[in-house]
C-alpha cells in the first residue's frame, strides 16, 4: 500500500452532498380557487369572482348601470368627477396590507379590483404568496389600472393610493399614471351625507345603516396583518380565505354604495325623504354658493326632522344663509323660531341683539336680549361674558344718547 492510500484511511468518510430544493409555493387552489398568473416579473396569484346583475346586496341589487353612468350626483357632492363615468373604464380598488399605519415597511400583499362588465360585476384579486412576488403583483395591478380612466375607493386617497405609490417607488416601477385617473373616494362623500346621522361612516357602518347589509363571521381589519404573517410561516391557504372574502365584500359594497350616493346627489328637494340627507344636501349647496337651493333643501329637512338637536341645527343654518343673502328680516324670524324650541340658544340671542341694535335702532329691545344672553353666558359659556358686557355697555350708551 502506497503512502497516499495509507493516509486516506485516516481521513473522515465523505458524506453525500445534500441538494437544497427550492421552497415550494403553497398550493392555494383548494382554498381560494384561483390560478397562478405569469408576468414579466414572475408569478403571482389571481382569484376572480363574478356577481351577476340582479344579485341582492342588502336592501339593494347589483344594478345594470350600462356602459356609462351619469355622475352628476357625485359631482354635486364634491367628487370632482366628469359628467359621465365610463363604467367599463372605472376600477374599484381596495388593498389588504401588512400594517394599518402605512409607511415604507408596509406591503400591500393583496390588491382587489372590481369593474362592471356586460353581465355583472367582476372582482379580481392579486395576491403575493411571498415577498418575492411583490413585483409581479404590482405589475398586474398596473396593467389593470392602465385600462381605466377612474378609480373608486373607500379612503383610498388617504391610504390605498399613497401606499401603492410608495411600493411602486421602492420597487423602482412607474406608477405616476395613476395621477391621470379621476379619483372618487366614497368615504369623503359618505361623510358629507351621513356624518350627522351615523355614529361612524366606516364601510361596515354604511353597509348596516344604509345598504341594509350585515356581515357574518367577517375578519376584523386589525387581524389581517397577523393572519398573513402566519400564512407566510405555515403556507396554510385556509388562513387567507377570510381575508379575500373581506376584500370582496368591500369591493362589491363600494360598487353598490357609489350608485346609492350618486342617486342621492341628483335628488330635488321635494324628492328627498330623509331629513339627514336633505340637511346634508342643503349644506353642500350652500358651500357651493347656491343659497336658494340650499334653503329649499333645509326647508324639506325641517319638514321631516323629528329630533330636536337636528331641528336646532337646521334653523341655525337657515338663519345664517338668509343673513348671507342680506335678507335680514327673514333671518331674524328664523332666530326667533329657534328660540321657541331652544330658549337658551346663545347664538340666536346675539344675532337678534345685533339685528335690533344696528338695523332697527331699537336699543331697548337690543338691551333686553343682550341681558338675557349675558345671563345664559354666565351659566354656560363664561368666555363670552366680556364681549357681551361690552355690547351691553355700548347699547346702553347709545340708548342714553337717543333719550
Three-state DSSP state, 26: coil
Note the pLDDT of residue 119: 87
Q: Which domains does the chain have, with CATH numbers?
A: 29-265 (3.30.420.10), 269-402 (1.25.40.10)
Give the chain's largest Cα–Cα span: 140
What confidence tens digit (pLDDT) does each residue in 230-262 have?
Answer: 999 999 999 999 999 999 999 999 999 999 999
Q: Please report where in the chains the cell 361596515 appears, as a residue.
A: 204
Note the pLDDT of residue 11: 53
CA atoms within 13 A on the CB side of 202: 7
Note the pLDDT of residue 356: 96
More confident: 242 or 9: 242
Separation between Cα atoms, residue 30 and residue 40, nearest integer Å: 26
What confidence tens digit (pLDDT) does each residue in 348-370 have?
Answer: 999 999 999 999 999 999 999 99
Residue 234, strand partner residues:
none
Note the pLDDT of residue 19: 40
Nearest Cα neighbor of 355 from 365, 344, 343, 345 is: 365
Amino acid at each position: 500500500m502506497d503512502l497516499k492510500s495509507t493516509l486516506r484511511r485516516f481521513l473522515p468518510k465523505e458524506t453525500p452532498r445534500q441538494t437544497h430544493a427550492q421552497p415550494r409555493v403553497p398550493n392555494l387552489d383548494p382554498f381560494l380557487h384561483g390560478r397562478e398568473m405569469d408576468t414579466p416579473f414572475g408569478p403571482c396569484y389571481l382569484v376572480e369572482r363574478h356577481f351577476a346583475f340582479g344579485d341582492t346586496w342588502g336592501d339593494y341589487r347589483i344594478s345594470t348601470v350600462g356602459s356609462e353612468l351619469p355622475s352628476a350626483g357625485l359631482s354635486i357632492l364634491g367628487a370632482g368627477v366628469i359628467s359621465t363615468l365610463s363604467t367599463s373604464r372605472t376600477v374599484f380598488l381596495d388593498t389588504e396590507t401588512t400594517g394599518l399605519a402605512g409607511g415604507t415597511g408596509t406591503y400591500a400583499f393583496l390588491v382587489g379590483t372590481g369593474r362592471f362588465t356586460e353581465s355583472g360585476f367582476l372582482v379580481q384579486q392579486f395576491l403575493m404568496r411571498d415577498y418575492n412576488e411583490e413585483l409581479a403583483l404590482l405589475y398586474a395591478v398596473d396593467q389593470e389600472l392602465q385600462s381605466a380612466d377612474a378609480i373608486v375607493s373607500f379612503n383610498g386617497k388617504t391610504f390605498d393610493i399613497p401606499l401603492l405609490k410608495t411600493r411602486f417607488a421602492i420597487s423602482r416601477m412607474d406608477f405616476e399614471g395613476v395621477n391621470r385617473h379621476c379619483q372618487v373616494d366614497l368615504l369623503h362623500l359618505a361623510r358629507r351625507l351621513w356624518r350627522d346621522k351615523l355614529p361612524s361612516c366606516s364601510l361596515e357602518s354604511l353597509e348596516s345603516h344604509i345598504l341594509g347589509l350585515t356581515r357574518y363571521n367577517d375578519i376584523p381589519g386589525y387581524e389581517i396583518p397577523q393572519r398573513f404573517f402566519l400564512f407566510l410561516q405555515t403556507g396554510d391557504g385556509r388562513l387567507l380565505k377570510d381575508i379575500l372574502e373581506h376584500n370582496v365584500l368591500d369591493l362589491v359594497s363600494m360598487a353598490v354604495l357609489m350608485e346609492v350616493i350618486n342617486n342621492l346627489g341628483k335628488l330635488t328637494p321635494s324628492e328627498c325623504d330623509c331629513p339627514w340627507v336633505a340637511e346634508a344636501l342643503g349644506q353642500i349647496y350652500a358651500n357651493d354658493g347656491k343659497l336658494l337651493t340650499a334653503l329649499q333643501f333645509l326647508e324639506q329637512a325641517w319638514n321631516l326632522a323629528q329630533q330636536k338637536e337636528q331641528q336646532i341645527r337646521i334653523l341655525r343654518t337657515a338663519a345664517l344663509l338668509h343673513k348671507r343673502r342680506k335678507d335680514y328680516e327673514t333671518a331674524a324670524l328664523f332666530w326667533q323660531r329657534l328660540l321657541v324650541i331652544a330658549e337658551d340658544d346663545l347664538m340666536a340671542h346675539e344675532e337678534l341683539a345685533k339685528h335690533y341694535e344696528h338695523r332697527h335702532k331699537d336699543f331697548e329691545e337690543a338691551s333686553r336680549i343682550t341681558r338675557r344672553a349675558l345671563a345664559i353666558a354666565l351659566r354656560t359659556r363664561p368666555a363670552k361674558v366680556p364681549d357681551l358686557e361690552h355690547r351691553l355697555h355700548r347699547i346702553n350708551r347709545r340708548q342714553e344718547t337717543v333719550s
